[in-house]
Structure formats: C-alpha cells, structure tokens
Structure 1
C-alpha cells in the first residue's frame, strides 16, 4: 500500500503568509523608528549647540570661538581654561566655508571654548579636526560664518541623506534648501563644505542625494 501524500491546507498556508507579513511589517517599522530616531537626534544636537552658543554669549558677552578673554586672558578663568586658545575678539567668527569641518580658523576655538565653559560635552583638549563632533549620520558637525546667505554663525551637519535633510529642514524651518534659517548644499561626501552664496544652495531636496545642512546659530 502506498502512503497518501499530504500537502498544506489553505488554512496552514494562510497562517504562514500572515506570519511572514507580520515579520516584514515589524522589520520595516523598526527601520522607520531607527531613521526617525536619527532625525530627532540630529535636531536635538542642532538645538543643543544653538542653546550652548547663546548661553556662552550671555555669560561672557563674546562669541564662543572669537572670545579673546579680555585683558586678563582666557586662562584667568580657571583650570578648565588652561591651554584653551583665544579668539581675536573682533565680534566675528573667522571661519571660511572650506574650514567648516576642519577645525581651522576659529572653528577649533569654538568647540574648545564651549567645552571649557561646560556647555557642551567632550574633551576641551581635542584640537583641530579632532575637536569637530560627529552627527547621527556619521558625518561631522561644524561651525562656519554666513553660509548660503544665512546671517551670522551657522551650525552645519555633513553627510545627511536626502530624506533626513528634508525632514530636518521641515522640522526646524520651512523645508526649502535655499531659503529660511536652515539651508542645504548638495554634497559629494559626508564632509562637503557648505556653499558660500545662496545662489549655490540646492533648490529642492532629492531623496537620492547627499547634503550638508546648515542652520543659523
């Protein structure tokens, strides 16, 4: 006698398909949550640096990075300020667009002075490019002056994917890369410097592109 062959019933197949659907849905939802978490992290970082910038200015009446320490010098403020470089005190952050992520100009001073003041986490002794923090997307977070027509100092993040750049701009500003307080440059790498003129800023966000996003401090 031959054993009858038994296949899957429609109910069993349906149960398997439902399980597969739930697993796929969970994976996609998890990826979405991770991405949303990165965007929130980036927004919180920009807000935190902006708050530190303004707190420093209120406390010392000078811009972080440009702070000369007055006649007594920065080192007179205490042990935390030992070996912290002083700015020239001219009231302007002397940082070019090309120096945004390198720590050159007064960029190195900016991060080290904020950390010495206890307004940002990190080691105040970290110098040059090592002073520049990393953002949630693995690119650098830098400081520069008046990129893309933004008035005054601006905090910039490199290496943001198109979806993240659009979401961040929409959350913080108007979602337009060439207008408002948050603007963007199309990037070829995660450390691409921001454009100098607003005419060179991106005109629309593409999900296929990479961006350097800057926000007024």
Structure 2
C-alpha cells in the first residue's frame, strides 16, 4: 500500500536565509550617516546659539554696571548708601541684589521679587561680582577699587574666547575681558588672570566699558 508523504515542501532553504545585499547595506549605512550627521549638526547649532547668547550676556552685564554707575553715581559692588534698604556690604550677593532692584538685570529663576540669589548665565553656571582692582596675574589690574567686575564661571572655552574676540582684544590676560582662575561655584572667583581660556571651561571676568 502506497503511503502519502505528508511532509510540507521545504522550498528553497536559501530564500529564508538570504542576507542583505551590498546595495541594501549601502543604503543602511547612508541612513546611519545622515542620522549621525544630523545629530552633530544639531548640537553644533545649539552650541553656536548658546555662544551667541553668552556674548550678548557679557555685553548686557557690562551695560548694566555702567547704567547703575551713571544713574546712582556709584558702582554696584561698592555702593554704601543703602539706597534700597539693603545691607551695607561690598560683596557679590549684595551687588546682584542692587542690580535687580534697579531693574538692570533679570530676577532669579522663579522669583517674583529681587533677591541676592546667584544669577546664572546661558551655560547654567554662576555670575558673580568683584571689585575692579583685584584682577592680578600676568597683566595689570582691570580697574580700580571703585569699579565692578562681572565674572562668568564655567563657560566653555570656545565661547569665552569668542566673547573676548567680539568685545575686547582676543587675548585672555589683557584688556577688559580676561580669563580668571576658578573658585567655589556660586562665590566670587579668585581674581588671578590666566594666559588662556583653556581647552574645557573657563571663568571670564569683564570690566564695564
């Protein structure tokens, strides 16, 4: 008696095990390359936008200090008249408060009234203030004891150099914009000029023009 072979036809085994062709692999690699390139391009665009914003912030804070001096006849770091009812202090926190009460810099994030909370720049690190005669180092002091320095901590080196080139002489330890050594975050920097803005981050101190 003849028995029926009930086994299903196997077909071409090679058909189910077929891999990518060179053309398909090329297409996949091109797509991956485009995605990676897009991510890098997007990051570059964000970085460039932040650098532009930082350059504007440096100028804005220099202008704020100048405006305070012109309006009140004293610099915000050393103003001792307690014109706003603030403490008679010469420190970064009090200078920040004075500039906020005067409406010359923005309020702290989430605040509805002026406070002495540390201001933050576009790269999300501290903005502090110093007397203008304390920038020691390889070049002369930036200003006198009656001037106010504004210092931006934790700034990417390229952005720091770009700001110096845009508004000053492009040299890290001369002019009105200089690199300085870093101190504790949120406090005034150790005001010693350094020869470069480094390769990672830098502290940038600027004197009002």
Range class of TM-score, shorter chain? 0.7 to 0.9
Distance 1:142 1:46, change over 3 A: same
- Residue 174 of structure 1: aligned partner: 169
Unpaired runs of 5+ residues, structure 1, are 75-80, 88-103
**TM-score where L is the length of structure 2:** 0.74
Q: 1:4 aligns with which of 14, 29, 40?
A: 14
Say if 1:84 and 1:125, in contact at 8 Å, map to a contact too: no
State the distance in 2 between where 1:204 and 1:65 align.
27
Q: Deviations over 1:135-167 (max 9, x none)?
A: 222221011123232123211011123333223
Alignment check: 8 A CA contact 2:92 2:188 kept:
no
The 5 Å alignment of 1:103-182 reads: 105-122=90-107, 125-127=114-116, 130=117, 132-145=118-131, 146=133, 147-148=135-136, 149-151=141-143, 152-182=147-177
Aligned to 1:211: 202
Task: Name the CA distance, whole Å, in 2 between partners of 1:193 and 1:118.
Answer: 22
Displacement of 1:43 = 1.7
- State the SS of the aligned residue for 1:7: coil
Query: Aligned equivalents of 1:189 and 1:32: distance in 2?
Result: 29
Q: Quick one: structure 1 residues 115 and 126, their matched pair in 2 at CA, closer, same or farther if it must change by over 3 Å?
A: same
Q: Is the 8 A contact 1:194 1:213 kept in 2?
A: no
CA shift at 1:192, angstroms? 7.4
CA contact (8 A) 1:158 1:192 kept: no
Aligned residues: 183
Aligned twin of 2:76: 64
Greater share of helix residues, 1 or 2? 1
Aligned residues of 2:129 and 2:149 also touching (Cα < 8 A): yes
Given the alignment of the two structures, is residue 26 of structure 1 paired with residue 38 of structure 2, yes or no?
A: yes
Secondary structure at the aligned position of 1:42 is classed as: helix
Q: Give CA deviations for 1:6-38 in whole Å, capped at 9, x if unaligned.
A: 332332222211111111111111111222222
- d(CA) in 2 for partners of 1:201, 1:36: 26
Task: Please tell me whether Structure 1 or Structure 2 has the larger radius of gyration of its CA atoms.
Answer: 2
Give structure 2 stretches of 5+ with no counterpart.
1-10
